[in-house]
Amino acid sequence: MIELEGLPELVDPVLIAAFEGWNDAGEASSGVLAHLETEWKASLLVALDPEDYYDFQVTRPIVELGEGMTRSIIWPTTRLLYARPPGSERDVVLLRGIEPNMRWRTFCAEIVGLCHELGVERAVLLGALLNDSPHTRPVPVVGTVSDPGLARRLNLEQTRYEGPTGIVGVLQQALSSAGLETVSLWASVPHYVAQPPNPKATLALLRRVEDMLEVPMPLGDLPEEARAWERGVDELASQDSEVAEYVRELEERKDATELPEASGDAIAAEFERYLRRRDGDNDR
């Protein structure tokens, strides 16, 4: 177990976590962590030893060239960083990594231990999956929570998925069993445009995290990138009649099952986000 020395005193910290790999369709969930790390200028707390959890013939290290053509090796790992978001009175711990190749239970136990040492009592885990959702409609985000009462309090639609799981599902169980209030959020990425990045799905997850934590989230260029991504997919779909027809069928199916009050709820949620971001900007 890593022992943290010289740790800054964190205030009511909450964990946001995402992993590259099986849990990360369109790199939507890892995109949230990359975005927040940059926007908040997060500082490194600790990096886990990759020797313990990665098969380097499966998840290979990367060679990078620096100044003067010096070569360095970047090893696959999982890192914990922290930041104090502008306009917030609490700290956020960012857990960003690659899904481990082995020793998942030991890996999760190490993460749980670090959370206890940091004083984290609440965690939001992010994932993304391929689905038959149309790219022209709002990105569906479903989730699982540590208990049904929390689901009602957060007004969270719970997934009924059963089947193979990834490190997000295993870590959620480990954190919940350790007494942390845990939520996992999953964005649906259209399977017919699965290649990364998918800024629209990243933006949907980011907004849902903001709703969960009531912490203003910096959007940066994501809204414009999401619009540009959708326009690009529109153009590609228009060039193939079969794809265009398939998208129309998905749209009709989605619209037929959409609840009438959903649009009003979405408007109200977006207005609340706007107020949080405005208040955060005024505090700077």
| Mean model confidence pLDDT for the chain | 87
Closest residue by Cα to residue 135 from 239, 31, 251, 26? 251
Tokens of 131: 């689905």
By CB atoms closer than 10 A (0-12, 13-18, 19+), residue 209 is buried
Closest residue by Cα to residue 75 from 53, 92, 90? 53
**Per-residue model confidence as pLDDT tens digits over 206-227:** 999 998 888 889 999 999 999 9
pLDDT of residue 167: 97
Asked if the model's pLDDT at residue 109 lies above 70, the reply is yes
3 state DSSP class of 38: helix
pLDDT of residue 284: 56
> Distances in Å between the alpha carbon of 222 and those of 104, 106, 204, 218?
33, 35, 10, 9
Asked if the model's pLDDT at residue 263 lies above 70, the reply is no
**Hey, what domains does the chain have and what are their CATH numbers?**
14-282 (3.40.50.10900)
Q: What is the mean pLDDT of residues 109-119?
A: 95
pLDDT of residue 281: 61
The rounded distance, in Å, linking the Cα atoms of 282 and 24 is 34
The rounded distance, in Å, linking the Cα atoms of 110 and 49 is 11
Q: What is the mean pLDDT of residues 138-142?
A: 91
- pLDDT bucket at 255, cuts 50 / 70 / 90: confident
Q: What is the mean pLDDT of residues 63-90?
A: 89
Asked if the model's pLDDT at residue 128 lies above 90, the reply is yes
Q: What is the mean pLDDT of residues 259-271?
A: 52
By CB atoms closer than 10 A (0-12, 13-18, 19+), residue 25 is buried
Whether residue 134 has a cis bond before it, omega within 30° of 0: no
DSSP codes of every residue in 225-270? HHHHHHHHHHHHHHT-HHHHHHHHHHHHHHHHHS-TTHHHHHHHHH
